[in-house]
Structure 1
Amino acid sequence: MPADLPIEDLWPGHSYVRMARQCARDLLKDMPAPAVIAVAYSTPDLMLTDVVGCYLVDALCGEDQRPEMYGVSDQAGGAGLTALEIARGFASSGNHTDGLLFAVDQITPYHVPGAPHPPKVDGAAVVRFGTDSGPVFEGFRVASTSDPVRQLNDMIAADPRISGVYVGATLAGYADDPEQLAPGRDLFVGPAGMCTSLWRAVESKWPESGTHLLADYDPHAQRIYAATLDAQI
C-alpha cells in the first residue's frame, strides 16, 4: 500500500458521508431542519475516519438545533423498517414528529453462506417522514422464519386490504419463481442492495392509495421484517 496516497485514493468506493451528502444536498433547499435523523446500514463504513451521523446533524441542522439521531444496523433490509418504527414511537409521545431516514449500502467483502448474494453496489436512499400528508406507517412486525417467501404470503393472506407489495432484493432472491411472491397483488422489487433495495422499490412506484406491505429479510438471523403503508385517500 503506497504510504503517500490518502485513503480516498486507495479505495474507489463511496463513504456513507459522501453518499449522504449527495442525498441531503437537494433536500436542504426546500425543508426545515429535521427533528430526527436515522441511518440504516448493514456494515460499518469502510471510511473509518468519517461518521455519517455526526456529519448529517451538522449539515442539516447546524448549531441552532440538535436533532435526535440514531442508527440501526445488523438487520440487513429490515434496518430501515426498524428505524421508522423507532421514529413512530417518538411521534406517538408527541416528540420529534418529523425527520429523515438515510439508508446506505457499500461494497464490502460481505457474504452469507447459502443465502442469496446480490451484486454489491454502493447506494443511498432517503425517506422523509412525519409530514402532514402521505401514507401512514403502521403494523411493524418481525418474524423468525427460514422460508421468507411463505411467511410473506401468509402476511398478505392475513390482511385482505393489501393491494401492493414492496420487497427488497434479498427477500425476492428466495423465490424460485417471481410469481411465487405476492400472487394476486401488485409487486415491486428493488434492485440489488441490502438496506437500500426496499426503498428503491418504493421509489419506483410511490403508493398513492390503498394499503401496501413493505418487507425484507435478514438472512443472518433468519428474520423477516415488515410493515404497512396506509395511503387511503
Structure 2
Amino acid sequence: MPARDEAEPEAPAPPPRGPEQRRSVGNLERRGRAWACSLVTYALDGEGWRGLFEFDPESPEAGEDLVRTAPIFMEASEAEIHGKARSMGRPLLLALLDSALHVREQERASSPFLQRWFRKVLAEHSLTSGEGSDDEPPAGADLDELRSLYTSYRMDQVAHFIALVHPDDFHRAVDDILDGQKIDFAARDRLQLAMMVVEFVEARLPLPPFEQWILDFLANRSIYEQYAHDLHREGLLP
C-alpha cells in the first residue's frame, strides 16, 4: 500500500504554566558547604499544581549555579504540596540534593570542554608512557569508567577511615552527627541516616577533585588497583 502523503500530527503544546512561587525550606550542609533549600511551586492550566526543590549554594564556586530536582509533586492544590513537603525530613532533602548534583555532574561530564580536556590528558599520558598515540589513547581509558572508579575511590577512603576509628569512638561520633538520633536498622529511614554519616565523613576528608584524581590515577594506576584489591579482597588496611 503506498504511503500517505500526509504530515504527521504535531505533538500537543504543553499547558500554560503559571508563575513560580518559592518558599524557603531551610539550609542544608553537604561536604562542608551550605545550601539554601527552597520549595518551588507553579500551576499548570487545567492540570493542577507541580512542585520541586531548588538548592542554591551559599558560597558558589566559579561557574557554579543553583540546582533543581525534577517536579516531584503533582497535586490538585498548592496547599497539598506544602503539606507533603513539610513531612520530608532532612535526610531525604540531602538525598534529593545529591541526586540533583549528580545529574549536573553527568551533564558536565558530557560537555565538549571536559571531553576536550580529557582527550588532551590522555594524549599527554600516552606520550609519556609510550602507549598509543595522539589519536589513539591508551586501552582502558574511558571517562565514564574513570568517573565510576573515582566514586568508588571516595567511598573506599570513607570505609578506610571508619575502619581506623575505634568502634566505641565511632558510635559516639555517629550520635553527634545525627544530633542524638539512633540508627534503627529496622526503621524505614536507616539508609538515609547512614547516608548522612557517610556524607559527613566524606566532606571532611582531604580528597582530590575529579580532574586532579584523573591525572594521578593515570600516572599510578597499578598502585590504585593494588590498594583496592588489598582493601576489598584481602581485608588489609595499607
Report if TM-score (shorter chain) is over 0.5.
no
Q: TM-score, normalised by structure 1?
A: 0.25
Q: TM-score, normalised by structure 2?
A: 0.24
Relative contact order higher in (CA < 8 Å, ≥ 6 apart): 1
The structure richer in strand per residue is 1
The structure richer in helix per residue is 2
Larger radius of gyration: 2
